[in-house]
Structure 1
Amino acid sequence: MSEKKKDPILYSLAAGLIAGGIEATITYPTEFVKTQLQLQDGSNTGKKFKGPIDCAISTVRHQGPFALYRGLSALVIGTAAKAGVRFLTYDHLKSLLQDKDGKVSGPKSMLAGLGAGMVEATFVVTPTETIKTKLIHDTTREKPQYKGLIHGIRTIVTTEGLGGIYRGLFPVMMRQGANQAVRFSTYSTLKQEFQKYSPSSPDQPLPWAVTFGIGSIAGIVTVYSTMPLDVIKTKMQGLRAKELYKNSFHCGWKVLTDEGVLAFWKGATPRLGRLLVSGGIIFTIYEQVMSGFRKLDKLKIKS
């Protein structure tokens, strides 16, 4: 068996950046709605929403359709960067853990995903998601304070210091680690199973429809298994987090005692809507971009 050629490290980074940026732009309204629902609790004096549809309709009615994209620039930049870092780290760790035939077992794929999630959380996700959450939360005020991404960052750093954009690092690391451990292990396992029955070479990408399908399944599994961590993360990054919570564990306890256990799955529907689609989009685009890079390499060799 010929040894499978290893892709250049920049290919994973570039493909991840492209896939992440496109996915974030397409699915952002669901992220906006999810964040608004998670920020609601008994102590808030802002707007109240009955559910995801009411949130979306009310926001459009009172603030216009573009309000659903408040904080988009922060998330697009962050999602593109985190996807690049995620795939880069995952592919590197996977290459270290694969066997002589280039295959990675489910537990090793989960370990590589966990590592990728931790790295992206530390360097990219925490600051960008904190900014995005504060920009969205700001829309619930009678008079929003942030005029946009740059003004928001400047105001947050001025009033809270650099720690203001690194709020909730621990729950973000836990959520991202769990997210990618579950997502990559599910996707990798399903992909290997489909490739067993694929008429094409194992080195060839699966049809985009198959990639989209298994990516979506990975998104569903990820949502319901990691939702409590996402709720805690969002609350720890809200505008009143310093007043309400001592730390992530205290936040989790407050959610449980004040709102009940089901509150840990608040916003699951819009998040499911996003990850169901985003899982398909991001893996499909990533695989197609990587396939394009490989074809270019073959053309260079022939020429």
Structure 2
Amino acid sequence: MASLKLQNIDPQQRKLSKLAQDVIAGTFGGWAQVLVGQPLDTIKVRMQTQRYPLKYRGATDCFRQLLRQEGLRGLYRGVAPPLAGIGFCNAIMFMSNGYFRRLLQKDKGQPPSILEIGLAGSMAGAVMSFVNCPIELLKVKLQTQDPQGVMNVHGKLEPPFKGVVDCGIRSIRTQGLIGIYRGMGMTLFRDVPGTFAYFVCYESLKRLFKSMRTDGQLKTADLLMAGGFSGIAAWLPSYPQDFIKSCYQNESRFMSYRQVFKEILKMRGPKAFFNGIAPAMMRAFPANAATFLAYEMAMKAMS
């Protein structure tokens, strides 16, 4: 009787069920990513947004200063927006990726091609950018604020943000509702190629590791390796865009991308666009290994 009921389920309902699984598994993956990667992300953003003269000599010096001045709490400063938001962002990304992958797949009886996987990933990245941008804006502001206060758009020092809600309200009050989407163009320019590389690398490595197993079954170590390297692959075509985005979002003055770019180039030179890449890469492997492992485990539990 139960099998008969399953057979009578409308195909559209099954598709919605698959989308729901992508949302739940993606949320778990996002939470795992934040908990593992937030300290190194804080260091990356601090390295990116420091002003001249430079405060930190390198990632290690940044870590030591933060730990000495603010303790472990300083490394997790600004964790509330990504913990609440990255889970949602990942849910959107994995749901969109699953939807676009099924939409683009020509041969439904065979696994999608690598090109189909990449195109679906880049389309999912474009969708995710609309959620990512305001979350990252608040995260950057909270991660980089000085304990003595923050500079407003009029050049006046204001009290530090009390938290994510206060940061959001004050950002909207000074720049309008569109203010929380400051950096949207560069977020898109970063996420589209980044997610293309992200999913292509992950699926390619999964297929490679599977072909190397005599039983054809992936192990936990395989998923961790594939997820970790996919995180590194995502940064390769997108890190300079992320650097410009962070500086642009942290800038209290009204400036264009071009002005921010020229100021960085003039003050810090071309190498500056890769400033903070070491902690970004160090974070990418464990954070994304945790993301995909949590995602795969959640999907397996729901299957």
Alpha-carbon deviation of 1:16? 0.3
For 1:230, give the aligned amino acid.
D
1:275-295 CA distances to partner (integer Å, 9 max, x unpaired)? 11112111111011101101x
Alpha-carbon deviation of 1:192? 2.0
| 2:261 aligned with 1:252 | yes
| 2:133 aligned with 1:116 | no
Alpha-carbon deviation of 1:199? 4.0
What is aligned with 1:126?
133
| 2:193 aligned with 1:186 | no
For 2:22, give the aligned amino acid.
S
Which sections of structure 2, spanning at least 5 residues, go unmatched? 1-13, 151-158
Q: 2:69 aligns with which of 62, 67, 92?
A: 62
| 2:119 aligned with 1:107 | no
In 1: Cα distance, 2:253 partner to 2:109 partner: 49
TM-score (norm 2): 0.86
Q: 1:236 aligns with which of 231, 245, 248?
A: 248
Partner SS for 1:33: helix
Cα contact 1:41–1:259 (8 A) shared by 2: no
TM-score (norm 1): 0.86
Which sections of structure 1, spanning at least 5 residues, go unmatched? 295-303
Alpha-carbon deviation of 1:141? 4.7
What is aligned with 1:19?
29
| Aligned ranges 1:42-81 → 2 under 5 Å | 42=52, 48-81=55-88
Instruction: Name the Cα RMSD after superposition.
Output: 2.0
Partner SS for 2:169: helix
| 2:102 aligned with 1:91 | no
| 2:273 aligned with 1:264 | yes
What is aligned with 1:147?
162
Cα contact 1:118–1:173 (8 A) shared by 2: yes
Report the more deviating stretch, 148-157 or 178-187: 148-157
User: How many residue pairs were aligned?
Assistant: 280
Alpha-carbon deviation of 1:241? 4.8
Alpha-carbon deviation of 1:221? 1.9
Report the more deviating stretch, 273-282 or 189-198: 189-198
Identity %: 28
Cα contact 2:36–2:286 (8 A) shared by 1: no
Cα contact 1:137–1:239 (8 A) shared by 2: no
What is aligned with 1:223?
235
1:236-274 CA distances to partner (integer Å, 9 max, x unpaired)? 1104252xx32x233233323332221111110111111
What is aligned with 1:300?
none
1:132-153 CA distances to partner (integer Å, 9 max, x unpaired)? 1111121365575201112211
Partner SS for 2:238: helix
1:200-257 CA distances to partner (integer Å, 9 max, x unpaired)? 46xx6x2111010011111222223311011011011104252xx32x2332333233
CA, structure 1 residues 142+155, in 2 after alignment: closer, same or farther (shift >3 Å)? Answer: closer
In 1: Cα distance, 2:149 partner to 2:135 partner: 24
In 2: Cα distance, 1:94 partner to 1:172 partner: 22
Report the more deviating stretch, 189-198 or 22-31: 189-198
